[in-house]
Chains A and B, each alone.
Chain A
């Protein structure tokens, strides 16, 4: 499971100023689901899943995903942002154990 926290970002290869750009992001993460004991009781423990995804562009927050365990393993998220200036797009994934995984992409105009 050493792959946990690997982030992949996909942006279109050519972006023009003012475009609304769709970005696809993926993180490798187990997103543990609720376990039950043989009596059907929920096992109480701190489940390790991603509960927040923060997208920032040029230092401004564009979108925040608050997620629960109903999101699939190795979660995939897509979102859009308006490309106004060249700069950095950053996606941060936070999980319930304090893990923080991030991916960045440099937005350039061709």
Chain B
């Protein structure tokens, strides 16, 4: 048994160690993500939502770098396609960390928060969202150095999609 074992003991131990480290890292990131999740979607005013997400940090106008695609008139508020792309490098030293979409008039103003890694190559995301009524929709970009940039668009909604 001692000589005929197909996998050397050293390899087994090394692999187990690597697995353990990986599992611990996974647990940690999972726990921190879980702590933030319950707070993301809440019934609140958009002012409260902005305060909760960004505190008192100043948000600059980002119309030069953010391309925010959203229809001017949404006939059906329950499916509104939005796309946000950011003209920014995606290198480990400087990249787009978060993209937020916030609909001012929704009862739950925070629609989504996208966390990006430099491996994404380009900061371009899209989603279908709901809009309750006519109002502004903002795309807010947080870069890895903490800079906040925002673009807002007014969207006219013919039939609201948030019900309730």
Cross-chain contact B116 with A70 (CB below 8 angstroms): no
| Residues from 31 to 66 in A contacting B, C-beta threshold 8 Å | 33-36, 42, 51-52, 57, 60-66
Interface size on B, residues (CB 8 A): 41
Cross-chain contact A81 with B119 (CB below 8 angstroms): yes
Find the residue from B83, B115, B123 having the highest chain A CB count within 10 A. Answer: B115
Closest Cβ of chain A to B77, distance in Å, is: 9
Q: A residues within 8 A CB of B163? A: 33-35
How many Å lie between the Cα of A75 and that of B115 in the bound state? 17
Cross-chain contact A71 with B125 (CB below 8 angstroms): no
Number of cross-chain contacts by CB at 8 Å = 129
How many Å lie between the Cα of A51 and that of B37 in the bound state? 8
Instruction: Say if the beta carbon of B106 comes within 8 Å of chain A.
Output: yes
Cross-chain contact B125 with A78 (CB below 8 angstroms): yes
Instruction: Say if the beta carbon of A102 comes within 8 Å of chain B.
Output: no
Instruction: Say if the beta carbon of B107 comes within 8 Å of chain A.
Output: yes
Cross-chain contact A81 with B164 (CB below 8 angstroms): no
Of chain B, the residue at the smallest CB distance from A64 is: B115
Q: B residues within 8 A CB of A57? A: 119
Cross-chain contact B125 with A76 (CB below 8 angstroms): no
Interface size on A, residues (CB 8 A): 35
Of chain B, the residue at the smallest CB distance from A82 is: B121
Q: B residues within 8 A CB of A34? A: 43, 107-108, 162-164
Cross-chain contact A69 with B108 (CB below 8 angstroms): yes
**B84-121 near A? 1/0 per residue, CB < 8 Å:** 00000010000000000001001111111111110111
How many Å lie between the Cα of A57 and that of B111 in the bound state? 25
Closest Cβ of chain A to B142, distance in Å, is: 13
| Residues from 25 to 58 in B contacting A, C-beta threshold 8 Å | 33, 36-37, 40-41, 43
| Residues from 118 to 164 in B contacting A, C-beta threshold 8 Å | 119-130, 161-164
Q: B residues within 8 A CB of A62? A: 116-117, 119-120
Of chain A, the residue at the smallest CB distance from B127 is: A77
Q: A22-B124, A34-B107 are in contact. List 5 more A-B contacts (CB 8 A).
A: A20-B122, A34-B43, A71-B130, A79-B120, A80-B123
Enumerate 8 A-B pairs (CB-CB under 8 Å) in ascending A order.
A33-B164, A42-B164, A65-B112, A66-B113, A70-B130, A71-B129, A79-B126, A81-B119
